[in-house]
Every structure is written in C-alpha cells, then in structure tokens.
C-alpha cells in the first residue's frame, strides 16, 4: 500500500496529467473542478482506463450518483468530495462541484484542493459535516466522497494502536461484530437512523458490521466499518470498559 503525497500548490503546466490529452477534460475544461480531480487521480497513479470506466465525464453534480467507485459519507485522503446543485442534468441551477481530499484530521475535518475558472486553484480546510466553502447564487448539497484508493498513511494507521485487551459490553454493546445502541453517539448520527431493533443503520438500511477494533491513545474504542474508522464511544459516558 502506497503512502499518500499531498499536493499543496497548483499543478505545473508541464505536468501531463493535467495539461495533455491524457486528461479527458483537457483542453476545453482546464481549471474546471472536474479537470483538477481527473488530473490529480492520474497523478496519484490511477490508470486512465480505470478512470474512464468508473468516473463520470459529465457535470460535477452527477459524479457521486453515476460513479462506479464506492461513495462514503466520511472522507479519506485521495477521495473526491462531491456537491450537487438543484435539479441534476439541469445546468441553469448550478453544475455542482468536486475536489480532492489531501489531508484528514482526527475530528474528520479535511483539507481539500479544488479549482474553478473564476477562482483558480485553492486548498481549503472544512469541518464535518462537510459543506461547500465558497458562496455564490447556487445552493449546494453534499453528496459524499468517491473512494478510489486506500493509502498507508491514513491518520488512524499512524495514531491508533491495535486492540489487545478484552472489553465488557455495555452501551453500545458489541456482539457478533454488530454495534447496538440505546442512544446513537454523535459520531454516528450523520446519515444513520435508529431502528426498532436498536441497531444503527445507514439510510440505505445497511447494518454496520464492525470488522476490526482498536483503542486510541485516549482509551476510546474504534471499530472499522466499510473501510472507515468509527468511534464506538460516546463522549457523554464510558460506554465501553476495558478488562485488566
């Protein structure tokens, strides 16, 4: 698994990932957000053929809906963050926006690079829940993050140690790799519903199966779900206790 190398400046005009026919949005859409995302993924080593097959080539507001890659609510480095505007396939109410996640912090806030004809290259910091960081006459909706690759230097890999101790099950209770809540923690509320059975589910109705567990340096328990690390603890109480 490769380490992620961040981009902090605009791409040089000698970079063929952006300024050549290798990029499907060159030359007609240079400086557009879709052009930057396509070039950045090429730069990260994603094959052009794969991108042509799995990434849309239409307006940014269609990307999260039409991609063949998985789309997650929480961002990881290398992901393409997606926003839509108004009615899809109706460009008069906005065409949406996309950017590439360059850095992720422990509070799930992220650094994003993006571009636009009228604003040029930008690197911005946004907090979760993710909202558009610029203002114009359109209303933007967060659609999720297109996940293309896993990278070795995700912050959870660097800052979290493996779970070695047993733990007792209180609230939430962890059994059979499922997480059951009497009250859904704040870290899980976004795009989750509490079902009659007590399980936290996505809006699409998927049970969150936690496949791996780790304690962080503060003693909080985290579980891995769908490639993402989710805090099982709620800050309101000691819901998971270690056994010595």
Question: Which range among 65-69, 88-92, 239-243 has the greatest average pLDDT?
Answer: 65-69
Burial of 135 (0-12, 13-18, 19+ CB in 10 A): exposed
What fold characterizes domain 33-146? endopeptidase fold (from Nostoc punctiforme) (3.90.1720)
Nearest to 100 by CA among 75, 81, 126: 81
Q: Can you tell me the distance from the alpha carbon of 170 to that of 77, in angstroms, rounded to the nearest whole number?
A: 33
Mean pLDDT of 171-199: 46
Is residue 221 scored above 70 in pLDDT?
Answer: no
The predicted pLDDT at position 120 comes to 92
Peptide bond into 27 cis (omega under 30): yes
Segment among 46-55, 72-81, 103-112 with least mean pLDDT: 103-112
Cα separation values, 156 from 107, 151, 153, 190, 216, Å: 11, 11, 8, 20, 9
3-state helix, strand, coil in the chain (%, to 5): 15, 30, 55
Residues of the chain with CATH 3.90.1720: 33-146
Residue 122: in which H helix or E strand, if any?
strand 120-126
Compute CA 124 distance to the chain's CA centroid, rounded to the nearest angstrom. Answer: 15
Is residue 217 scored above 70 in pLDDT?
Answer: no
Is residue 124 scored above 50 in pLDDT?
Answer: yes
**pTM higher than 0.85 for the full model?**
no
């Amino acid at each position: 698994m490769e380490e992620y190398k961040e981009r902090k400046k605009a791409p040089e005009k000698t970079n063929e990932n952006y300024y050549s026919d290798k990029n499907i949005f060159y030359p007609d859409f240079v400086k557009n957000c879709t052009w930057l995302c396509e070039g950045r993924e090429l730069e990260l080593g994603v094959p052009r053929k794969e991108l042509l097959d799995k990434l849309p080539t239409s307006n940014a507001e269609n990307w999260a809906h039409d991609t063949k890659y998985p789309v997650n609510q929480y961002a990881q480095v290398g992901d393409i963050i997606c926003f839509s505007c108004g009615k899809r396939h109706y460009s008069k109410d906005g065409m949406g926006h996309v950017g590439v996640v360059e850095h992720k912090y422990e509070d799930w806030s992220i650094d994003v690079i993006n571009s636009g004809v009228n604003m040029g290259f930008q690197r911005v910091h946004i907090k979760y829940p993710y909202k558009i960081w610029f203002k114009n006459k359109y209303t933007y909706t967060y659609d999720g993050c297109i996940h293309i690759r896993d990278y070795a230097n995700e912050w959870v890999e660097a800052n979290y140690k493996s779970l070695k101790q047993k733990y007792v099950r209180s609230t939430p209770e962890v059994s059979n790799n499922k997480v059951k809540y009497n009250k859904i923690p704040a870290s899980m509320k976004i795009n989750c519903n509490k079902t009659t059975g007590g399980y936290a589910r996505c809006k699409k109705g998927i049970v969150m199966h936690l496949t791996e567990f780790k304690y962080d340096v503060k003693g909080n328990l985290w579980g891995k779900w769908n490639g993402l690390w989710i805090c099982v603890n709620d800050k309101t109480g000691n819901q998971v206790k270690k056994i010595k």
